[in-house]
């Protein structure tokens, strides 16, 4: 199949990471993949492993007519068997460019969002709905998200759920006990410290401050709790300020952006997701694959990830007392190991990259009219 993937940008983010991974993996399987992105933000560009170069539309405003014309020209030149848009903004450009180019390629939207706060975002949704309705297929990344969007009229002609997945071979903790102690020591942690990690860009919806506050409460209760924040972003200053106010700035380590999060996940006893909104967190699945018990706010597809007591625990979003209670329950090392093993098994069975790519490849064959494996490779 000849496929065109379009993202809003190639900045750091889950939807962008997902689009790049799909293009790479389908290319490895013999398909011809092209990748375009609307805005000139390209921090993840180096992750692409395609025979040809990706292209940027260089949009300078929300709906840039010159950028749209460039995309229509690309669509006419590439003649893809299908166009795959990552999230609604890319979908808007893809649907308009398809119409301008006269192409008949089926249009697939992969939707990663669940919540759109603010009047501006709500207005954008009104513009996105007709594009969604015109798409041939919408792929939602969890069942919760599918139901949420369907109730709000965000649907296509056909609607499917394909769970996010990660490379469970790459995300696997092979560290020995001695290696893990050395790694923790390099980060300033004693073997007895209770290290609670969070791997996410420091943005308001990721709610890092809640973990800082929970860490302070745990320390006041006598736990040797320390917070490891893997990432960077616009709320870093506010997070650092809150840690100072609570007198735990030395117990909160912010790593800055890290291309490879695996060593830092390995150093953690538990991984936390405090988000106020999520669809299905790739960072959460990566932590599960690393055999880390997960404490997750009850948003998005959290209940599809977590079986409470088996591979992690859930708490109501924004409820710091409930988060502290979950973290106290997981302070026991034997419980951490037991739930970590359950997390790894769940990741391997349900959330592996291989399972996910198989599902997308089959879906795209159906949309392109390929009836068998040989036809798909033609």
DSSP secondary structure string, 211-273? HHHHHHHHHHTT--EEEEEEB--TTHHHHHHHHHHTT-GGGEEE-B--S--HHHHHH-SEEEE
pLDDT of residue 14: 82
Q: What is the CATH number of domain 2-165+353-377?
A: 3.40.50.2000
The domain locations on the chain are 2-165+353-377, 177-350
Residues of the chain with confidence (pLDDT) below 70: 114-122, 371-378
Instruction: Please state, in angstroms and rounded to a whole number, the distance separating the CA atoms of residues 204 and 115.
Output: 13
The pLDDT, as a whole number, for residue 152 is 83
Rounded to an integer, what distance in angstroms lies between the CA atom of residue 368 and that of residue 376?
Answer: 8
State residue 154's pLDDT score.
Answer: 87
Q: Residue 2's pLDDT is what?
A: 95
List the one residue out of 78, 79, 76, 42 whose CA is nearest residue 57: 42
Q: Which CATH entry fits the domain spanning 177-350: 3.40.50.2000, 3.30.1780.10, 3.90.550.10, 2.60.40.420?
A: 3.40.50.2000
2-165+353-377 and 177-350 share one fold = yes
* Closest C-alpha among 86, 107, 90, 112 to residue 164: 112
pLDDT at site 228: 98
Q: Residue 351 has what pLDDT? A: 96
Using CA atoms, how far apart are residues 256 and 262, in angstroms rounded to an integer? 14
Residue 235 structure tokens: 């709320």
Contact 81, 1 (CB under 8 A): yes
Which DSSP state fits 54? P
Predicted local confidence at residue 235, as pLDDT? 97
Using the 8-state DSSP alphabet, how is residue 166 labeled?
Answer: B
Q: What pTM, to 2 d.p., does this model score?
A: 0.86
User: What is the rounded CA–CA span in Å between residue 189 and residue 181?
Assistant: 8
């Amino acid at each position: 199949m000849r496929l065109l993937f379009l993202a809003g940008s190639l900045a750091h983010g889950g939807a962008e990471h997902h689009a790049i991974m799909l293009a790479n993996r389908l290319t490895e399987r013999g398909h011809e993949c092209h990748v375009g992105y609307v805005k000139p933000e390209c921090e993840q560009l180096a992750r692409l492993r395609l025979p040809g170069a990706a292209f940027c539309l260089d949009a300078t405003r929300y709906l840039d007519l010159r950028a749209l014309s460039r995309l229509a020209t690309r669509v006419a030149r590439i003649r893809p068997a299908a166009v795959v848009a990552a999230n609604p903004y890319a979908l808007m450009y893809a649907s308009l460019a398809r119409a301008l180019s006269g192409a008949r390629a089926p249009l697939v939207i992969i939707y990663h969002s669940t919540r759109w706060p603010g009047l501006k975002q709500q207005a954008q949704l009104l513009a996105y709905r007709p594009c969604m309705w015109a798409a041939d297929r919408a792929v939602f990344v969890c069942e919760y998200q599918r139901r949420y969007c369907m109730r709000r009229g965000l649907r296509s002609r056909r609607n499917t759920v394909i769970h996010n997945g990660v490379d469970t071979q790459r995300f696997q903790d092979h560290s020995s006990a001695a290696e893990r102690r050395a790694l923790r020591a390099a980060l300033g942690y004693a073997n007895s410290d209770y290290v609670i990690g969070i791997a996410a860009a420091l943005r308001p919806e990721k709610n890092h401050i809640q973990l800082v506050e929970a860490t302070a409460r745990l320390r006041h209760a006598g736990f040797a709790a320390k917070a490891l924040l893997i990432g960077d972003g616009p709320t870093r200053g506010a997070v650092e300020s809150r840690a100072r106010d609570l007198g735990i700035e030395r117990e909160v380590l912010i790593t800055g952006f890290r291309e490879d999060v695996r060593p830092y996940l390995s150093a953690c006893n538990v991984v936390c997701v405090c988000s106020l909104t999520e669809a299905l967190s790739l960072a959460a699945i990566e932590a599960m694959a690393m055999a880390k018990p997960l404490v997750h706010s009850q948003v998005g597809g959290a209940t599809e990830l977590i079986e409470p007591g088996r591979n992690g625990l859930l708490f109501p979003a924004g409820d710091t007392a409930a988060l502290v209670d979950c973290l106290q329950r997981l302070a026991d090392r034997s419980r951490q190991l037991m739930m970590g093993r359950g997390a790894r098994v769940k990741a391997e069975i349900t959330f592996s990259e291989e399972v996910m790519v198989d599902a997308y490849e089959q879906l795209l064959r159906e949309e392109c009219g390929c009836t068998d494996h040989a036809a798909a490779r033609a």
